[in-house]
Structure 1
């Protein structure tokens, strides 16, 4: 997997009249999984999933647009949007943390 952290100004979107869209981070290869039911209150754990059974794979990009952070999943070849999630405030429930110990190599 490769990742880039250098902020880069990219196309402007309609989030405000003067808001500039800035690419904060990108990962060229990522996977989306069907998350199994929560087993306990400690949260979801990636090692409970079958890593070879993903629903979709593609590119993940994180953008800053004014006061909003936007996470986008796109096809790395065509650029087609698979999913998008705006994060409007710190501590938002839009994104859940996941434990990945033992899976990163």
Structure 2
């Protein structure tokens, strides 16, 4: 069995994360609907790959401690969604170790 190495594809040092309410219609997510000046978490974003899966990892800027990650098996897919009114903001579906998922809104600067 061959070892699979994790490769770092991209690092963004400043990312803000926001909790968002459930989508009330099929019109899509809009960044202007959230309190962008009051993020729930701030850190860095790393995009990595291992095998055929990419990961969006949200980490503490100083310690590197993992806050959340979103595995991306296919794109386009449900793991990453764009917002309709901005190119800097997107919605990611994060998963914890037990497979539970939650939707977060992230802004990359």
Q: TM-score range by the shorter chain?
A: 0.7 to 0.9
Q: Which runs of 4+ in 1 moved over 4 A?
A: 102-105
Higher relative contact order (CA 8 A, sep 6+): 2
Q: Select 1:84's aligned residue among 69, 81, 85.
A: 69
Contact 1:74/1:80 (<8 A) preserved: yes
Gaps of 5+ in 1: 1-15
Choose 1 or 2 for highest CA Rg.
1
Gaps of 5+ in 2: 90-108
Q: RMSD over aligned Cα, in angstroms?
A: 2.4
What is the number of equivalent residue pairs in this alignment?
90
Change (3 A) 1:17 1:103: closer
- TM-score, normalised to structure 1's length? 0.73
Larger mean CA deviation between 32-41 and 64-73 belongs to 32-41
